Amino acid sequence: MADGKVQEAGASPEQQGEFSDRVRGLRGLEHVRKEHVQWKFVYHRMQSEYDREDPKYRVAKKLYRVAEQVRADLTRQGIDQSVMLRNENALRVEGVIYAIYCTRGKELYIGQTSGSAFTRFQSHYWACKAGNKPLYKRMKRYGWRRFYTVPLEYIPAELYHASNSTERVRNFRRIATPRELFWMEKLHTYVPRGLNVKGAQRNRHRKGRKGRARWRRLQKPQSDLEQSKLQLQEGVVSLPSSPDVPFSDHAGVIPAYGRIFGYRDYVRRVSYLAHLWNMGMLHTVKLVKYADRNLWKMTRVLDAAQSTMNPEATKAILSMLRAYLMVRPQVQTEKPNGRRCIMLAWKSRELRRVPLRMIMTQPKIIAHLPPEVRPQVEDVRVVRRLIPPIGKLIFNYSKVARDLQRDDLNEADCPCRQLFDERFRPEQGCVLTGDVNIVRLCGLRQLLMYGPRFRVRMDAEPMAALSSALDEFIARLSAGLAVDKAMFAIWRRKVLAACQTRIRSHSIASRGAKHHVLSGKMQKYLRFLHKHLVLVPVDKASNNVAFVCRRKYVEALQTELSSTGEASGDAYVSAVESVTDIVGRHKRELSKCHLFDSDKLAYLYWLPKMHKRPVSQRFIAGSASCTTTSLSKVLSDVLNFVLRALRARDDDHIGRTGVRRFFVVNGYEDVADFLARWQRSPDTAFHHTRHLHTGDFSTMYTTIPHDDLIRCLKLALKEAWTWGAELTKVDVKEVAIQCGGGDVKWVRTRALCAANGYHSKSSHRLNLDGLISLVSFLVSNTYLVNGGQLRRQAVGIPMGTNCAPPIANLYLYAYESSFIDKLMAHCLAEARGFHMTFRLIDDVLSVDNIHWVKYRSLSAEEGGIYPRALTLNDTNVSVREVHFLGMSISSNAGALRLNVFDKRKEFPFRVRRYPHMQSMIPTSIPYGVFVGQLHRYYRICTTWRDFVKHAQLLAETLVRQGCRWRRLQEKYRSFIALRGRTLRWGVRSVLISHALRATRGAVSQPG
């Protein structure tokens, strides 16, 4: 009725939506208004719903089906349930276990009553106004009319007959309570899946009652009452099994386990799985639907029940459960979809005021487009092309490293000693600092404070940027859809006009376009800095600038280039050929595969590791555009695909054996998700195994011998190819990997004519030999030009190229997997101990593995894990605490606690991170960073207090950098709200959604 009236008044669709929302809200409050409920009709509605052959709601269908089975069981055992039949006014039957279901939330509530199900529903209705139980909250939210009551089971009156009514009710409870609990278990009606509360919470809700019930753990039955309850319960657990069900054999062992493993009926679940195994249907079980903690309990029950259950069934179920629990969760990465985009050059801050997408798709504006184009425009995504950051202007490391000019000065005569203050020169040596105060010119210092990713405003004309973006968009769209450009003319004019009003109405008088990022004075000072210092990003804190004495920088680079590798002679050897020879050869070789696109060669440079004492160097091959860049990109895609294949193969292997051979992880997510799910054994016998270890390979990239590398890669690739052949069901020789168009996959291919596979401009198809030959080409053709001198990397792989990480991963994988294979052959238990090993390129983490220390100190030749050429350093804080991939993992009281590890603490200066609002970027970027980090914190933190603490710190930092509190708070609250009523820590979301507000006063917002 109300909706109809609004429509007559001609309100806009938005207003209507708002109104109907309000109506919906009011519906839940019906009971507040004094209304006369016609219970007669309510009863008829519910009873006729009960009497229907095919219930209307799915939840009811399921409920009736389960109830019928159990009633049949009960009837067989002599407890007659015929009063529960349809068309027998079952809702009026007294002394029942009943269910209440909600047609909206699909949740169930189970209760017992010595009255009838319907009268009990009525009393729930009267109580729900003041009550705070989950059921009452739901009734208030959805309106009580959306709830139906159903009697599930009849408890015959002669069972609890007594002379007075108190005694009678008490007797009834003794019988009904276990039955009620049985139904709760059976139908999983505990919060949050259902509306029943349990344990301590339940007692709290029931504190008004006499003889408070304690059902939490039935370990020590004390009173007669509890004893009798337990006996009943023991009977109850075996009730649902009928004589023809094979797992009723285990009924005898059930009570004992019930006592050990708490109340919830894990034995029933395990027996159910055994039953399925018996029927040959174990594979149909969907373990995803179980809570992880229940699966862990089930494995423990199985371990304990091994002697009483069929050993084969136990083995099959255990291996299924373990395979599920031990496989590391895959991190899903979303591919960009094929939406159309409009590229907007982001050259003016005024563009922040223009909601371009909204304007383009406004109904009255989009109406000017031909109808066939509209859906394309409606689906548009605005992509902002940002101006380059200031990094390119201020850094000079690349030029210094390429030129490599050395002044023949003694260290003591270095000009930097006179020019710069002592505090920037550690140990009275040359300049090496991350402190921007070294810059005396105020304007330049401010700019450097913002960091190299800062984008300086250059107020170009915003309208020009908009119109050119639109022109480009229209050109692409009209070409794609074969529509005349003229059809867009009116739309374009309208869009631009709407944009114009936004800009003009907010714009202050034009400030005068600024054409140079740096003023003349700043440029002059920067030239002075560049003459004596090298400005270079800091390792692991790349938004910070380090200042290094030029002489010192060059010296360190030369030392590295002429260094002798530990394993086999020099890492870099002078090449005989000239630069043009090399480029020519590369061009000849790579053009065949359409993989040549630049005739430059790479060069070596280094970044200071400011978090180490003393400061050390990270050497990187600058190869953003060099002869092998394309090759490296393709190989990186293919090898990462190979790693995924090996991982899939390993997941399969774990299921069968419980042994992990693949230690590689893709990032902190793998580790955090897995450890969050992992439960350490509570058995005290395993306490001595609780050790955490981390390590890293210090100079891995320059110590891997080439011949060993190729040998290992061949092994790993062959293994992957066997898996590929299994998947595609063809012979190994006919399997190839196809890569192109952002997609990599196994394909079947006939014998390839070319040795390197098949290549075209857009796609590459590689067989095993082709891939190996390309990898060895890349590895043996890493050339570096520094100071005009050509060197070849003879040991190790070039750090900084795209495919270095997967190559390193595969190399170490070959060693790890063969180590585990050997271990499996003579001691399976030891091999299983390694399943908690994680490695990301050169960082290793080992959890609760007593054998780790023994085998990591041995080299592969002596029966250990890793080759002698590499040294694995211990990086533990202690055996109870380690830092790994930005996480701090600590072990206390048996549990693993994960927290975000703040690397900034390791640096001697204040680390600048996250974009600054003063930068020439859309406002959405810093807030996007905020949400991104919240995701990271949420995944890592095991306690919600840690999460809140880090969120607060982050919000404070962002506010200092110009973000608005209110908007950050909105983002935070919607992040929490998205995760539903209960967060992963089991706390109510309301609790922490207000937490950010607390610190607001602490930070003042900049003007």
- CB-wise, 534 or 541, nearer to Zn ion? 534
795 lies in the binding site for Zn ion (CB under 5 A): no
Classified as helix, coil or strand, 912 is coil
* 549 counts as binding Zn ion under rule CB under 5 A: yes
From the CB of 800, what's the least distance to Zn ion, in Å? 26
The least CB distance from residue 532 to Zn ion, in Å, is: 8
By CB under 5 A, name the one of 236, 430, 456, 571 that touches Zn ion.
430
Task: Give yes or no for a cis peptide into 614 (omega within 30° of 0).
Answer: yes
Question: How far is the C-alpha of 892 from the C-alpha of 889, rounded, in Å?
Answer: 10
Which residue number, 424 or 815, has a Cβ lying nearer to Zn ion?
Answer: 424
- Written in H, E and C, the secondary structure of 285-352 is CCHHHCCHHHHHHHHHHHHHCCCCCCHHHHHHHHHHHHHHHHCCCCCCCCCCCCCCEEEEEECCHHHH
Q: Which is nearer to Zn ion, 414 or 870 (CB)?
A: 414
> Minimum distance between the CB of residue 616 and Zn ion, rounded to whole angstroms?
18
Contact predicate 690/681, CB 8 Å: no
CB of 638 to Zn ion, least distance (A): 45
CB of 429 to Zn ion, least distance (A): 7
Q: 385-414 mask for Zn ion (x: CB under 5 A)? A: -----------------------------x
Helix H segments across 827-895? Answer: 828-833, 852-856
* CB contact at 8 A, 501 and 362: no
- Give, in degrees to the nearest 5, the angle at Cα 548 between 544 and 551: 160
The window from 424-432, 648-656, 677-685, 901-909 that contacts Zn ion (CB under 5 A) reads 424-432
- 502: its two tokens: 């936004």
Q: CB 34: neighbour CB atoms within 10 A?
A: 5
Q: Which stretch binds Zn ion (CB under 5 A): 97-105, 422-430, 633-641, 697-705?
A: 422-430
Considering the complex, state which of residue 385 and residue 406 has its C-beta at the smaller distance from Zn ion.
406
Residues 6+ apart with CB under 8 A from 712: 810, 811, 814, 815
In angstroms, give the least distance from the CB of 430 to Zn ion. Answer: 3
Which is nearer to Zn ion, 531 or 822 (by Cβ)? 531
Q: How far is the CB of 609 from Zn ion (least distance, A)?
A: 19
Q: How far is the CB of 407 from Zn ion (least distance, A)?
A: 10
Closest to Zn ion by CB, 430 vs 541, is 430
Q: Do 372 and 487 meet the contact criterion of CB atoms below 8 Å apart?
A: no
CB of 431 to Zn ion, least distance (A): 6
Residue closer to Zn ion by CB (options 517, 549) is 549
Which segment (543-551, 603-611, 683-691, 972-980) binds Zn ion by CB under 5 A? 543-551
Residue 797 is a binding residue for Zn ion (CB under 5 A): no
Tokens at residue 168, please? 């009678």
Identify the DSSP state of 507: P
Whole-number Å distance between alpha carbons of 253 and 233:
13
Complete DSSP assignment for 79-135? ---GGGSTTS-GGG-EEEEEEEEETTT--EEEEEEEEEHHHHHHHHHHHTTT--SHH
Between 323 and 549, name the residue whose CB sits nearer to Zn ion.
Answer: 549
The nearer residue to Zn ion, 429 or 655, going by C-beta atoms, is: 429
Shortest distance in whole angstroms from residue 413 CB to Zn ion: 9
Stretch that binds Zn ion, among 47-55, 282-290, 361-369, 423-431 (CB under 5 A): 423-431
Please identify, using beta-carbon distances, which residue of 430 and 996 lies nearer to Zn ion.
430
Residue placing its CB nearer to Zn ion in the complex, 138 or 551: 551
> Does 920 help bind Zn ion (rule: CB under 5 A)?
no
Of the two residues 229 and 551, which places its CB atom closer to Zn ion in the complex? 551
Given the complex with Zn ion, which of 492 and 551 has the nearer CB atom? 551
548 belongs to the binding site for Zn ion (CB under 5 A): no
Shorter beta-carbon distance to Zn ion: residue 163 or 410: 410
Asked whether 764 and 757 are in contact (CB, 8 A), the reply is yes
DSSP letters of 167-227?
A: HHHHHHHHHHHHHHHHHHHHHT-BTTTSSB--HHHHHHHTTTSSS----S--SS--SHHHH
**φ, ψ for residue 416, nearest 5 deg:** -65, -20
Cβ 841 to Zn ion shortest distance, Å: 33
Place of tokens 């979303």: 334
Query: Considering the complex, what minimum distance in angstroms separates the CB of residue 551 from Zn ion?
Result: 5
Query: 416 or 444: whose CB is closer to Zn ion?
Result: 416
Rule CB under 5 A: is residue 533 a binding residue for Zn ion?
no
Least separation in angstroms between CB 560 and Zn ion: 18
Q: Does 197 bind Zn ion (CB under 5 A)?
A: no
Cα–Cα distance, 363 to 980 (Å, whole number): 34
Q: Which residue in 416, 646, 921, 963 binds Zn ion (CB under 5 A)?
A: 416
Give 531 or 979: the residue with its C-beta nearer to Zn ion: 531
- Within 10 angstroms of residue 919's Cβ, the number of other Cβ atoms is 22
Asked if residue 438 binds Zn ion (CB under 5 A), the reply is no
Cis peptide before 192 (omega within 30 of 0): yes
Would you list the DSSP string of 22-71? HHHHHHTTTTTS-----HHHHHHHHHHHHH-SS-SSHHHHHHHHHHHHHH
State how far the Cα of 783 lies from the Cα of 169, in Å rounded to an integer.
Answer: 90
CA dist., res. 20 & res. 499, Å (int): 33
* Minimum distance from residue 426 beta carbon to Zn ion (Å): 12
Whole-number minimum distance, CB 401 to Zn ion, in Å? 17
Tell me how far, at minimum, the Cβ of 400 lies from Zn ion, in Å: 13
x/- letters, 34..53, toward Zn ion (CB under 5 A): --------------------
Which of residues 276 and 414 has its CB atom nearest to Zn ion in the complex?
A: 414
Integer Cα distance of 929 and 902 in angstroms = 16
Instruction: Quote the CA–CA distance of 543 and 561 in Å, as a whole number.
Output: 27
Q: CA 670 to CA 940: how far, in whole Å?
A: 10
Name the DSSP class of 877. Answer: S
Task: In angstroms, give the least distance from the CB of 408 to Zn ion.
Answer: 14
d(CA 787, CA 510): 47
Instruction: Give the β-pairing of 94-102 and 341-346.
Output: unpaired
Name the residue with tokens 């061949």: 714
Neighbours of 225 (CB within 10 A): 14
- Site size toward Zn ion (CB under 5 A) is 5
Q: Which residues partner with 888 through β-bridges?
A: 883, 899
Options 438-446, 519-527, 547-555, 728-736: segment touching Zn ion (CB under 5 A): 547-555
Instruction: List interacting residues with Zn ion (CB under 5 A).
Output: 414, 416, 430, 549, 551
